[in-house]
Amino acid sequence: MVQPVRRRSAVLAWGALLLAGCGSGGVQTPLPAGPTTAQTPAAGTADASAEEAVLTGYLAYWDGVIQAHRRGDPADRRLAAHTGDPELSRVRAEVARNSAQRLSVRGSVRHTARTETLSGSTATVLDCYDISGWNPVNVDTGKRVDTVGGSAFRARYTLRRSRGTWIVVDSVVMGGC
Amino acid sequence: MLTRLARAAQPPVPGGRLRLCAASLVALALLAAAVVFSAAPAGAAQRCWMEAVKDPRGAIVYVKRCETADPGRPGNGGSGQAPDCGIESYRPYPGQELFCSGGLPCYMDDRVLPGPRPPLAPGQEYKTLWCYPCPRCFGPPAPRTIVVGALPRPLVVQAREAFGELRPPGAVVRHSPTGPAVVALETWFWLDGATFGVQTGSSAEGLVAVAEPAGTTWDPGDGSAAVQCGGAGVAWSPEADRSLACVHAYQASSPGYQGAVTRHWAVHYENGGQQVAIPGAPTELTAGTPFTVSVVESQVVVGAGD
């Protein structure tokens, strides 16, 4: 089921234009011609609430990632609560690297995510996420560091159910979107 | 004196020709200004600058860009155009390369600043970036630890590298009869099992190409159609499963047909044990191995047994 997901501070109208090429549709603003509803239902007979729970876990993971990067704290507890290895080690390494550069990444990330597969205690989420509003700040000067590079990426995240919640355990960035 | 102290305590300050004049601070200032702004661009055919690149996961990596400078058209740091941060006003020490970063003249070295240096991705390293406080001005440069080097490569590039690491072993071809084949009788072909197994190769980032045996194609060498087999074939025996056999019947004798077997593997990719679909990545691995089979008339066999 295609599921539009919106960060608390996201502005979907802007994001929709950027993310229209992701193919998953489902955003709430006009898109180019093409399907705007689910094309690839999650495997099995998982119902919408189960897929919703997966996406909730997925967004909680991102909340942890963003908080860890903002604080420059690889040991951030929210991150640890919603992430498992190898993803946890990967994110911690990136936060630590940015922290060594005296950088704090601040802002928000926009998502257009859907549950791709859901089987037992494993699920995958496909997301086309936009990090143009998530930028590094030099913690010594307080000034934003100008960056270049892409802003919207397509990625697949693997989640595992752990103690009743879904945590992200792996991810692969597949390219731009 | 302030300038000299700064030079002693900090990396080189622009204007290497600066001389101290004890007569007056005014003279010093005038001299300094003259030196700073007089250094010619010494035939700078190329301008370089550092860009902070935000990777898909938010990690910041500094990447060096260069382009041939156009003296008549100062850059603005936009796409593909070198920024103008007043580098021409500085005369670097030998071996020191100045470039623009964040609108300031900067250089890099390998000094280690205090603070942690967690492990980096392959192809990346820590450097110390020193930037002057403003374009075309004096003042000690401020140091900062940065990560420089390669950005994560696209998955398809990683996949091709992993694919290139697949090194199938040489095939060992067997057939039955073990000596010359016999005209009009079936010859069974197969491969030693160890030569047709699962192969793996990895990219620097850890993406794994997994090649699983998918079948073999046997060219008997006599001009007839190739024989397709789902596996490596099976050794002949009275109890052998014929459905697994790769069989061909030669129709004419020869001292040596030049045949060949091609092994086919189906390739997929895994990241952390999870299969990953990567558009554009190769999905089939093949390896060919020639062999020679002599074929005799059946009468010869009968005669030999008499």
Q: What pLDDT is attached to residue B45?
A: 63
CB-CB neighbours of B159 under 10 Å: 26
Residue B88 structure tokens: 């021409």
A–B interface: beta-carbon pairs under 8 A: 88
Partner residue opposite B116 with nearest CB, options A65, A100, A138: A100
Going by pLDDT thresholds of 50, 70 and 90, the confidence category of residue B14 is very low
* Residue among A31, A27, A51 at smallest CA distance from A41: A51
Residue B167 structure tokens: 């090194």
Partner residue opposite B54 with nearest CB, options A100, A136, A170: A136
Going by pLDDT thresholds of 50, 70 and 90, the confidence category of residue B29 is very low
Q: Cβ distance B232 to B190 under 8 Å?
A: yes
Q: What pLDDT is attached to residue B220?
A: 95
Contacts B271 to A, Cβ<8 Å: 170, 172
Rounded distance between C-alpha atoms, residue A99 and residue A139, angstroms: 9
Q: Is residue A33 domain-resident? A: no
| CATH number (domain holding residue A55) | 3.10.450.540
Q: Does B147 touch chain A (CB under 8 A)?
A: yes
Q: Does A147 touch chain B (CB under 8 A)?
A: yes
Q: What pLDDT is attached to residue B151?
A: 72
Kindly identify which residue of chain B lies nearest to residue A108, measuring between CA atoms. B58
- pTM, entire model: 0.61
Partner residue opposite B271 with nearest CB, options A138, A148, A172: A172
A136 contacts B53? CB cut-off 8 A: no
Rounded distance between C-alpha atoms, residue B174 and residue B293, angstroms: 10
Strand partners, A165: A162
Q: What pLDDT is attached to residue B71?
A: 53
Kindly identify which residue of chain B lies nearest to residue A169, measuring between CA atoms. B272
Rounded distance between C-alpha atoms, residue B156 and residue A93, angstroms: 24
* Residue among B158, B181, B182 at smallest CA distance from B269: B158
Q: Does domain B155-305 have CATH number 1.20.1090.10?
A: no
CA–CA distances in Å: residue B198 to residues A1, B204, B288:
36, 20, 16
A65 contacts B58? CB cut-off 8 A: yes
Kindly identify which residue of chain B lies nearest to residue A144, measuring between CA atoms. B102
Size of chain B, expressed as the number of residues it contains: 306
Q: What pLDDT is attached to residue B82?
A: 66
Rounded distance between C-alpha atoms, residue B259 and residue B222, angstroms: 8
Residue B223 structure tokens: 């001009």
Rank A65-74, B39-48, B295-304 by mean pLDDT and report only the highest.
A65-74
Kindly identify which residue of chain A lies nearest to residue B207, measuring between CA atoms. A172
Contacts B278 to A, Cβ<8 Å: 174
Q: Is residue A120 domain-resident? A: yes
With a cut of 60, say whether residue B11 has pLDDT above it.
Answer: no
For residue B40, give the DSSP letter.
-
* Residue among B236, B248, B254 at smallest CA distance from B300: B254
Q: Are strands B284-296 and B254-271 parallel, antiparallel or unpaired?
A: antiparallel
Q: How many helices (H) and strands (E) does chain A have?
A: 4, 8
Q: Does A98 touch chain B (CB under 8 A)?
A: yes
Going by pLDDT thresholds of 50, 70 and 90, the confidence category of residue B284 is very high
With a cut of 70, say whether residue A141 has pLDDT above it.
Answer: yes
Kindly identify which residue of chain B lies nearest to residue A94, measuring between CA atoms. B59
- Strands, E assignment, chain B: 46-54, 60-68, 99-101, 104-109, 124-131, 142-149, 173-176, 181-182, 186-191, 199-202, 208-219, 227-229, 246-249, 254-271, 274-276, 284-296
Q: What pLDDT is attached to residue B188?
A: 94
For residue B176, give the DSSP letter.
E
Q: Cβ distance A155 to B56 under 8 Å?
A: yes
Residue B299 structure tokens: 């009468």
pLDDT digits (tens, 9 = 90+) for B103-129: 899 999 999 999 888 988 878 899 999
Q: Is residue A10 domain-resident? A: yes
Mean pLDDT of chain B: 79
pLDDT digits (tens, 9 = 90+) for A7-64: 433 333 333 333 333 333 333 222 232 222 233 344 444 478 999 999 999 999 999 9
B118 contacts A101? CB cut-off 8 A: no
Contacts A103 to B, Cβ<8 Å: 60
pLDDT digits (tens, 9 = 90+) for B266-279: 999 998 777 888 87
Q: What pLDDT is attached to residue B290?
A: 93
Portion 239-278 of B in contact with A at CB < 8 A: 271-272, 274, 276, 278
Q: What pLDDT is attached to residue A136?
A: 95
**Which of the two residues, B249 and B10, has the higher pLDDT score?**
B249
Going by pLDDT thresholds of 50, 70 and 90, the confidence category of residue B143 is very high
Mean pLDDT of B174-197: 89
Contacts B155 to A, Cβ<8 Å: 172-175
CA-based nearest distance B214→chain A, Å? 27
CA–CA distances in Å: residue B25 to residues A33, B1, B30, B34, B141:
72, 9, 9, 14, 22
Domain boundaries, chain B: 2-149, 155-305
Portion 29-68 of A in contact with B at CB < 8 A: 65
Q: What pLDDT is attached to residue B70?
A: 59
Rounded distance between C-alpha atoms, residue B148 and residue B52, angstroms: 9
Going by pLDDT thresholds of 50, 70 and 90, the confidence category of residue B42 is very low
Burial of B172 (0-12, 13-18, 19+ CB in 10 A): middle
Q: Cβ distance B211 to B285 under 8 Å?
A: yes
Mean pLDDT of B140-148: 92
Chain centroid offset of residue B207 CA? 12
Contacts A69 to B, Cβ<8 Å: 58
Q: Is residue A149 domain-resident? A: yes
B55 contacts A158? CB cut-off 8 A: no
With a cut of 90, say whether residue B149 has pLDDT above it.
Answer: no
Rounded distance between C-alpha atoms, residue B267 and residue B12, angstroms: 54
Which residue, chain included where needed, has tokens 């670097």?
A: B92
pLDDT digits (tens, 9 = 90+) for A111-140: 999 999 999 999 999 999 999 999 999 999
- The answer to whether the Cα torsion of B140, B7, B16, B46 is positive or negative is negative
Number of domains observed in the structure of chain A:
1
For residue B170, give the DSSP letter.
P
pLDDT digits (tens, 9 = 90+) for B89-106: 888 888 888 899 888 999
Q: What pLDDT is attached to residue B33?
A: 36
Decide: helix, strand or coil at residue B173. Answer: strand
Q: Cβ distance B185 to B298 under 8 Å?
A: yes
Contacts A91 to B, Cβ<8 Å: 57
With a cut of 60, say whether residue B40 has pLDDT above it.
Answer: no
Q: What pLDDT is attached to residue A72?
A: 95
CB-CB neighbours of A85 under 10 Å: 11
Kindly identify which residue of chain B lies nearest to residue A137, measuring between CA atoms. B60
With a cut of 90, say whether residue B250 has pLDDT above it.
Answer: yes
